[in-house]
Structure 1
Amino acid sequence: MNAVPSPRDRQRQIGVFELERLRRTDSLADPAVRARALCGEIAAVANVDRVSYLVTTTPNPQLVATSTTVALDARSREVVRLQSIAARVREQGAAVTSPAFDIDPQSRRPECLELFAMPIHGRDHHHRDRDSHEDNVQNDAIRNDVTQDKHEDASDSNPSAVHAVIVMQRFMPQAVPLAEAITPIQPQIDAAAKVVLASWLSTSHRSERVTSRWWRRLSTGQRFAGLAIAAVIVGVLLSVPVPFRLAVEGRIEPATSRGVFAPASGTLVTLPVSDGELVQAGDPLAEINSPEIQLQYERLAGELASAETELATLRLNQSGTGRTANGRSGNDVSRGESSPAESRSRSARQMVLRSRIDSLREQATLIGDVKRSLAIESPVNGRVMMRDDQSDLLGQNVMQSQWLMQIVDPSGGYHAVLDLPDESFGYFSAATQTGEPVTATLRLRSSPDVEFLAELMSVANTVHWTERGEPVVGVTMRVTESMSSENMPAETMPADLHVGATVVGVVHAGNRAVGFVLFRPLIEWVRSYGW
């Protein structure tokens, strides 16, 4: 019949389980955190007051973690003592126990009651034939890290080299000796410590040590050569000029175009043209029917006819009265058939009618022009540009001065209206003051295989905000030449070019040092804080 396990045995079984769990988990944690967790587990299982984990792959052992505190001052006497214990274990290649380091040389008093310093070998020389594939991978990582100095070269050739040391200390007396408490779980501690060690050496801690050892191994001439190369690189970055470009985005606009607007309110009865159609000057574009204009025209025509008829009647009566007066005697005139007062009245009435007739004729001419303008004709030769929804206006009422379409003259060239970021305007302004023409290389989003070369025309005096909330300055540039993808001049502009088509590209803002061009965001960030 099996004996009932004692509480101490149960505690050791729990401790073995915890150490196995620590070996399998926390693989993504920081190596120092894993080492501190391992120290805490060992302290709880073995019932010790402090456990310290030291790495001995460097000439001076490095304290990684302890179970009592997160960090210890490397200059403290206790850390120096732990480093001397680890160095002794590394030299002997075996564990060190009390009383080897239990007496303080200065005070001659015990530093701790019990001490057990356990070595962690790069390869378990007692069980090399039974190592698993996982342990081989871990030990290879350990051996690859220890190759830079004489001590490390020697340990790399020795399969039992000590790469880490776990120091356990008791400051209070216990019933079970420390060595006896550690013996049952020593294999588990060794396995978990190797996992932590491999993690420590495979992270940045290893790379930093390798870099420092590499620099220390260089000769004085090699160091000077490295510094000279670095100085040359810095000099190149600060002095060699390269083209400096400012990224821009905008739209393309025709240099010559005429807008077509509704001359009066009315109904759009005909729209014989479509978007993109080529027209000649005088070709019909649209026709508007306006009852109001027609009514005004008819009213003026009626008033003008009435006034002209009245004026003709007055002139006829006046001429008949004069002939009668000349053929009669003085007695007939004295009877009042045609007195001087009546003659003056008729003359005044004629003057009023003539003045009114002139006014009505002018009004009729104006309203006639408006009536004729309702039949809209193309003002110039060009291409019709209209929105897709403009064709829906056919049969609908339009307002006076409403935009109907645009007639673009392709032979008149194009302008690029660009949005220059406000943060880049200082560089752009400096480029304009050099006396050299400021140019840009642009591409259409709809035809990215064609490049446009543009030259500065004007710069806006104000800053406006884009739809994305970015402050920009408007810059207008004249498109001087279009280049194909083979950098050959293109004979014509793209056929699908529309008014307002989006363009992207760069503005050439002179030359700057290559270091400034490469690290411009960092330099501007530093400048933003006034440094």
Structure 2
Amino acid sequence: MPDDPWERCADALARLEDRLKSPIDRTLFPETADDLLQRLNAISALAIYFPADQLLCRRGQSLAGDPDLRCQHPVTESSSLAIHLWLQSSPPPDAATKQAIEEALPAIGNLLVAAVARIGLAQSQHELDALTELSDQLFAEGDADVRLHHIAAALAKSLRVDRLSLLRRSDARYVMIGCSVQARFDRRADQVWRTQKVAQAIDQELDARTSSVITLEHEDGDAIESFLRAGNATQLQATRLGADRILVIGECFESIPLDATKRGTGDLSPLRRQLFDAALADVLRRQGEKTWGRWRSTWQKPAARWRLAAAVAVLLVLCLYPMTIRVAADGRIVPQTQTVVHAPVDGQIARLECESGMEVTSGQVLCVFSSHDLELEITRLGGELITVEEQLQIAATRRGDESGQDIGSDRRVLEARRGGLRRQIALLEKRRDQLVVHSPIAGIVTLLMPDEDLGGLQTPRPVQRGDAVIRVINPADGYRVELDVPDREVGYVLAALERQTDDPVECRFRLRSQPQRQRRGTLLGLDPSASLDRFGRLIVAASVQPHEHDITFNADSGVVGWIDCNPAAAGFVLSRKVIEQLRLWGWL
């Protein structure tokens, strides 16, 4: 190594120039400082700053106080590179050495400025390459779900989080549209539901803070803590993109062994943020255009246009073409003239004077009922009457000291009692006479409670008061149809009856025994009260007068009928069952 300080400074400059001829990085600055300390013994410490207030490297002894030599070289309009030198205090350098260092220091600074420019250019090129690669990844062709997955994965890498979710603002809530874990996710999953639920709390935290990217932990509210515990996460990173329409939520997990210095400390540069905003806007725009384009391309086909025209025609028919509302109901054939004999007392049928199918005349005896209780009551009252009459005979033959006034009083009491007993017996005998039932009309007899195994009704037979025993019908007066209209259909029938004065309500029915023949009739009216059928359903009986009668009509024959009510739109008539059910549920 030469002893001349000028040669040593020249040698240091030459070595720095040689380094600049090869690829360089930030290690150039500490290597240059070490070389200067090694070649120039007069230098005890050296520090390089870029910008002027940020230390790049420091070599040599740590000396207090201001530097002995310094120089500052502008790099850009707002930044500069500074070099500070501390010389040896003992022995101090001679004047020639100090002069050589002072004159070499600006040249070294100029070379380091060139190095800074080259390193900055290399970093800019690296960042540009990274942005180009990111742009290719974000704007790659694919469907919306795949592209949103790529955007979420790139954001997760930039923010250094383990899982990232993209949520789009929809009115007052957020809807998850993308995830870094998988391209297609189940929107009904618990994790998706929890993320959408916590989004409102995170959105409020972003409004309350000034930073564009915030970090949230367990101490930032109950909603945040609950979300972190449910997902086994330690912290959240959150920001907004896409003109604040997209909320970004990143999660850092405990279970993944990441370096603590790298977890959740990422940030988005302005260029990267603009790139992500453009990618999201492009995906959402294409998503809308894709839906509209699919519809437009579909309806441009002639076949699709024909289908659309057919659908419109069907819709017009359903809305404008009138159809008659038909109310279906089950029913039976009922005689116009009939009478039913009911048991007048609890007892038994003592004697039956008719049988099924027998023709009877008006006033003919049908059956005789008997009541054991009634007979016992008549017998008891008859016994009391005999006792009272004997007491009257004894009172008439009394002699002795008793006064005539007392005898007269006893006789009056006994006579009053005898009169009451005779009236009671006469009333009970009249009731017994009523147990002999006569037919009020002429007609044909039907036994309503026959013994099926014996082919008739055997007497004596026990009955209870009110039991239907015998029915007499007059077939010569004709028959009518009685339909059981469901309660929910009564409104249509009532509306049809309101126009009956102008146009009678037509009905159609079929006998169950002759389903191949359809008969017609006219609706006479509805019963004023409802009842329950054998299935427990609420019904209202409707009377129908047939237009014709034939010998196939038998009492209680089953029928299936339809009542033609008012006309309505075909769509309503065909779907009224569904509409009625929706109205029942309160949806219409």
Relative contact order higher in (CA < 8 Å, ≥ 6 apart): 1
Instruction: Compute the TM-score of the two structures, normalised by the length of structure 1.
Output: 0.44
Larger Rg: 2
Instruction: Compute the TM-score of the two structures, normalised by the length of structure 2.
Output: 0.40
